[in-house]
Amino acid sequence: MNMNIYSSSVLTRVNKSLVLSISILLLSLVMSVNSFANEPDSSKTNGTLSTELEDIKKQVLKLNRDLFILEEDLLFPASTQVAVFVSVDVGRFFKVDSVELKINDKNVAGFLYTERQRKALEKGGIQQVYLGNLKEGKHQLTAIFTGFDGEGRSTKRAVTHQFEKDDDVVMIELKVEDNESSYRANVRVEEWVL
């Protein structure tokens, strides 16, 4: 019997989930690096291709960023830009389900959260829920959150905030915060100081 045939087969038939996460993969990598030493062409080609792919990805990322900034400069210049964010602190007393935003009594944005998006907020993420343009002057923002309280009952929280738009970007964060003393969540508004 040819031992080499099945022993190599043993090495290649490692469970995928195992392979991806454990050191055996790294070990085989190191081994493959050694075996590649005997095949300089293959290793070289492989390295070049992966480097080229990385370069392309890098360039595409850069293009993406430039285009994003360009778009923002053109469509949302600082003199008119208003951005609204949502964050959740803990989220034990209020599980966010949706948010509706009004500026000067006009609906401007609405967002329905998936489980994953809600968890992302509870883990500390801040979500940009609205980006728009407003003229200089005084404005009113109204946010209505719907969700579930600690006992799973459907509940709502709303907040109104007056703000003034000047020549700089206005960034407003709606913070859904647990209140330990009242066992309920409140929405607090914070304007970012740039």
Partner 1 sequence: MVKPTLADTVAAPAHLEDKLYRKALYYYFTGDFGEALNQINLNRQRFNSHSSRSRLFEAGLQVTVGLHHQATESLKALQIEQTGAMVNNVDESKSNTSPKELRLIALLQLAEQQIQQGDTNTAKQTLSQITEISNPYNDQYQILNQLAYWPELPIQSATASEEFHDDKSSERQYFSDAYIKLNQALLHMEQGDFELAKPKLTAIKNTLWLPPSKTFWHLLFNPFSDENEEGLSEKTNDEKIQQQAVNDYAQLLLAQMYVKQERYEAAYYELKDFPQDSPYTESALFIFAFSAQKIKQYTMSLKLFNVIKERFPYSNLGWQASLLLAGQVVDQMSLEEGMTSYQNSERLYKQRITELDNFHQMFLTTDDLLTFSPKKENFLLTVTKPAISAQLTMPFFTNNVYSTDSVWLQKALLDNELQADFQTLVELDLITSHLNGQQQKNQWLKDTLTLNSKRKTKVFEAQQQANYRAIIAQLSDKKQSIANIVANAESELQGDVFASQEQEEWLERIKASKQAISSIDGNRNIEEYQNRLKRVEGVLTWQLQQSFPERLWQHKKLLKEIDQLLLQAKQQRNRFAVLKDSSLLLSDLAERIENSATGIEAQLVNVAKLREKTSNKIQKNVRQFVDNQRLVLEAHLLTSRHEMAAVLESMAKFDKRIEKQLAPNLLNKETL
Q: Which of residues 123-162 bind partner 1 (CB under 8 A)?
A: 123-128
For residue 182, give both structure tokens. 């009242």
The residues pairing with 148 across neighbouring beta strands, listed in sequence order, are: 95, 154
Q: Between residues 35 and 140, which has the closer beta carbon with respect to partner 1?
A: 35
Closest to 177 (Cα-Cα) out of 130, 111, 124: 124
SS3 37: coil
Q: Which of 84, 121, 170, 176 binds partner 1 (CB under 8 A)?
A: 121
Residues 27-46 that bind partner 1 (CB under 8 A): 27-30, 32-33, 36, 42, 45-46
Q: Between residues 56 and 140, which has the closer beta carbon with respect to partner 1?
A: 56
Q: Which of 38, 40, 57, 162 binds partner 1 (CB under 8 A)?
A: 57
Closest to 117 (Cα-Cα) out of 154, 82, 91: 91
Shortest reach from residue 177's CB to partner 1, in Å: 15
Q: Between residues 30 and 112, which has the closer beta carbon with respect to partner 1?
A: 30
Residues 161-190 that bind partner 1 (CB under 8 A): 167, 169, 173
Q: Between residues 60 and 158, which has the closer beta carbon with respect to partner 1?
A: 60
- Helices 40-75 and 23-36: crossing angle, nearest 10°? 120
Q: Between residues 110 and 125, which has the closer beta carbon with respect to partner 1?
A: 125
Residues 84-113 that bind partner 1 (CB under 8 A): 85, 87
Shortest reach from residue 57's CB to partner 1, in Å: 6
- Measured between alpha carbons, how far is 157 from 100 in angstroms, rounded to an integer? 11
Shortest reach from residue 173's CB to partner 1, in Å: 7
User: Is residue 126 within 8 Å of residue 173, measured between CB atoms?
Assistant: yes
- Measured between alpha carbons, how far is 186 from 175 in angstroms, rounded to an integer? 8
What sign results for the dihedral spanned by CA atoms 2, 3, 4, 7?
positive
